[in-house]
Amino acid sequence: GENVEQHPSTLSVQEGDSAVIKCTYSDSASNYFPWYKQELGKGPQLIIDIRSNVGEKKDQRIAVTLNKTAKHFSLHITETQPEDSAVYFCAAISDSNYQLIWGAGTKLIIKP
Amino acid sequence: KAGVTQTPRYLIKTRGQQVTLSCSPISGHRSVSWYQQTPGQGLQFLFEYFSETQRNKGNFPGRFSGRQFSNSRSEMNVSTLELGDSALYLCASSFSGAGAEQYFGPGTRLTVT
């Protein structure tokens, strides 16, 4: 079955700098890769997603890149702000079992 | 429109008891998924219901069960509670299922003593 690994588990960056979180997946049939942000006391919220027919997608300060050959995808946040502090999860899904498999999460800390 | 609601928000139970958690999805959403979230384990998929039918199931023991009603509201039941069942249980609704945006509720924090 699918396995998703996420790194790093904790990331501390200076406000205004960029942050990059990386995930790898095992099932080559996976075709949908969402990223979720979870703030304290709340459920995760979708921030961006990408499908396997696209290599990169941007939405203002956030972007996701996908390398199907290497089976990894990354979240890029530029010009980080204090409100970006949260736990970020990557996930992957394949048509074979139609289950979202989640990474273990990255705690992003933005230092003022 | 109203978001996903989960009740209760907090629950303390004793080993061996059973518990029922409730989830009301966003109006118009027919898919409800349940996840268990524990520190260091991320989100573990329990099951998904779509139009009152269990469409998918994760690798959890039979003590974990669920159902969905005709109004798409869903309940999750855990019988014979164990200490390891202590976790945040999240419910997510979507229009079509796992391949679409999931809208999460705030979760139910279950503590088993």
Contact list in A for residue B43 (CB cut-off 8 A) is 44, 89, 91, 100, 102
Dihedral angle computed from the Cα positions of residues B111, B91, B49 and B82, in that order, rounded to the nearest 10 degrees: -10
Q: What angle do CA A107, A66, A40 make, to 5 degrees?
A: 20
Q: What is the pLDDT of residues B27-48, one digit of tens each?
A: 999 999 999 999 867 899 999 9
Report percent pLDDT > 90 for chain B: 88
Comparing CB atoms, the residue among B98, B105, B107 nearest residue A100 is B98
Q: What is the pLDDT of residues A77-88, one digit of tens each?
A: 999 999 999 999
Report the candidate in A2, A4, A23, A93 with the shortest Cα–Cα distance to residue A65: A23
Cα separation of B57 and B91, whole Å? Answer: 14
pLDDT mean for each 10 residues of chain B (113 residues) = 91 98 96 92 91 93 97 97 97 88 95 97
Cβ within 8 Å, pair A93-B45: no
Kindly give the confidence (pLDDT) of every residue in chain A, 112 residues in length, as a single tens digit, with 9 standing for 90 and above.
789 999 999 999 999 999 999 999 999 889 999 999 999 989 999 999 999 888 999 999 999 999 999 999 999 999 999 999 999 999 998 777 788 899 999 999 999 9
Query: Three-class SS of residue A22?
Result: strand
Question: Residue B1's pLDDT is what?
Answer: 64
Any B CB within 8 A of A49 CB: yes
Determine what percent of chain A falls in helix, strand and coil, rounding each to the nearest 5.
5, 60, 40
